[in-house]
Amino acid sequence: MTRLKDKIVCITGGANGIGKTLVEVFAKQGAVVEFMDMNGGKGEELSLQLNSEGYSTRFHEVNVGVYQQVKDVFSKIKEDHGMVDVLINNAGVSKFMSFWEMDPEDWDSILSSNLSSVFYCSREGAVLMKNRGGCIINMASTRASMSEPDTEAYSATKGGILSLTHSMAITLCDVGIRVNSISPGWIQTEDYDSLRYRDHEQHPSGRVGKPEDIARACLFLAHPDNDFITGENLVVDGGMTRKMIYKH
């Protein structure tokens, strides 16, 4: 298999989109995958499918924005495995709301789902990595550095994840834990064939991204041989944030 065989890998937001692909890819690399999501039906379905194919996964229906639920699920993982090798904080909501009309409750909800959850899961996961080594990967976004209207809450959470990542990397280095983030650009999670030519050609890479692109980046950062990388943000966006947008 690979260097990830039998490693305990925890993935949040694993029932849909990028997270679903992460669960599939890490399971097929031989990892024991514990994954979480609020969508119980899709999570259970994915776990049953992968387990029937001979892979090792377990699904937990959890709202990772609620600290007690996070504590409870990591207690189960500790009871069964005693450790975590890799944690991927992928859960989040892409919710864009009017700057003028957003309620404080909406703001707090998005920050809880996208940013507080990263801190909660990282702290509980780090307890199970402490002094034996481990890797935390946080899913940020290119929207941390570029924006469209009415993305204030979402962009703020992704910028917060970048800062939280390098802060945790320095705090946790003394106990052998690496912390990095990934900033995806346009990743089409479904109906890829429906994309237009201009959707693809605007990217310097020549195409829109796929969930598998993010999964490969996670595999790279999670690999034990890449232990010289910590506190970094890996941008996976087909070159879009490096492109001059002015028309001539």
In a domain, 111, yes or no: yes
Residue 194 pLDDT more than 90?
no
Buried b / exposed e over 36-51, threshold 16 CB at 10 Å, is: bbbeeeebeebbeebe
d(CA 55, CA 101): 46
pLDDT tens for each residue of 167-187: 999 999 999 999 999 999 878
In a domain, 153, yes or no: yes
Residue 247 has a pLDDT of: 61
pTM of the prediction?
A: 0.95
Specify whether 154 is catalytic. Answer: yes
The single residue of 55, 67, 120, 154 carrying the catalytic annotation is 154
H-type helices in the chain, by residue range?
17-28, 40-52, 67-81, 104-111, 117-127, 152-172, 197-201, 211-222
In a domain, 186, yes or no: yes
pLDDT tens for each residue of 67-124: 999 999 999 999 999 999 999 999 999 889 999 999 999 999 999 999 999 999 999 9
In a domain, 228, yes or no: yes
* Total tally of structural domains belonging to the chain: 1
Which residue range(s) make up the domain with 227?
Answer: 8-242
In a domain, 121, yes or no: yes
Residue 196 sits in a domain whose CATH number is 3.40.50.720
Output 223-226 pairs: Cβ under 8 A, ≥24 positions apart. 223/3, 223/4, 224/3, 225/3
d(CA 51, CA 209): 28
8: left (phi over 0), alpha (psi -120 to 50) or beta: beta
In a domain, 60, yes or no: yes
